[in-house]
Amino acid sequence: MAWSASAAGQNNRCNILVLGDSLSAAFGMSTTQGWVELLNVRLKQRGFACTIVNASVSGDTTQGGRARLPSLLKQYTPTHMILELGANNGLRALPTKKMKQDLQWMIQTAETSQVKVLLVGMRMPPNYGPLYTNEFEQVFTSLAEDEGVAFVPFFLEGVITQPEWMQADALHPNANGQMRLLENIWSQLLSILPQKP
C-alpha cells in the first residue's frame, strides 16, 4: 500500500520505502492505525512532501526482504529506506551470521542506488539465552557502525514493557502503542530526510 503527498522539487524528492515485517505491517489492526500511516500523517502536517511505500510483510525474515528488495527498488525508486527486519529470524532462532549478511547486503544494495537507509534494531527476550540474544543485538549495532547508517537500537523501546500497549500475543504492539513506535524512529529518520521545501 502506498500513500503520496504533494510533489516536491527534484532536489527535495522524498520517497520512503518501508521494508519490514508484521511490526510495520499493522498486524492485528487497520493499516490506518499503524505507525507507517501515522508517519505519513506527521510528514504531511510538518510540511514534508514525501511518498511512503509500505512493503512490509507479516512473518518476513531478512532472507525474504533480500529477495524482494531489487524489484522494490526498481518499481518505486525510493530515496530513503526504513529497514525493519530480523525479528522473525530471532523468533525462529535462525543463525545470526546469515541475518547479518542479509541486512548488510540490503543496506549496500540500497546505498548503491543512492538510497539513504535507516536501520531499525531489535532485541530478543532473555529466554533465548545470553549467547544468542547478545549475538542478535550485536548484529544491528555493528552493522550501523560499519555501514555508517542512521540507526534505532531497539524498535520496541518503551512499548514492550507496557502491557496495555501490546496485543494478547505479547509480541505485537496494539493501536495504542503505534505512536510510541513512530517516536522511536522519528529523530533518526528526520536526520536523513531532505529539508522541507
pLDDT in tens, 14-40: 999 999 999 999 999 999 999 999 999
How far apart are alpha carbons 164 and 77 in whole angstroms? 38
Residue 41 confidence (pLDDT): 97
Q: At what angle do helices 35-45 and 178-190 cross, to 10 degrees?
A: 50
How far apart are alpha carbons 123 and 135 in whole angstroms? 10
* Residue 148 resides in a domain: yes
Closest CA to 66 of 109, 16, 113, 96: 109
Whether the CB-CB separation of 25 and 54 falls below 8 Å is answered with: yes
* Residue 197 resides in a domain: no
Query: Which residues are known to be catalytic?
Result: 22, 169, 172
What confidence category does residue 195 fall into, taking pLDDT thresholds of 50, 70 and 90? confident
How far apart are alpha carbons 111 and 83 in whole angstroms? 12
φ and ψ at residue 52, rounded to 5 degrees: -115, 130
Give the residue numbers spanning the domain of 99: 2-190
Whether the CB-CB separation of 159 and 171 falls below 8 Å is answered with: no
| Mean pLDDT along residues 83-95 | 97
Residue 3 confidence (pLDDT): 39
φ and ψ at residue 15, rounded to 5 degrees: -130, 105
* Residue 69 resides in a domain: yes
| Angle at CA of residue 166, ends 187 and 107, nearest 5° | 40
Residue 9 confidence (pLDDT): 42
pLDDT in tens, 100-130: 999 999 999 999 999 999 999 999 999 999 9
> What's the CATH number where 134 sits?
3.40.50.1110
* Residue 196 resides in a domain: no
Question: Domain tally for the chain?
Answer: 1
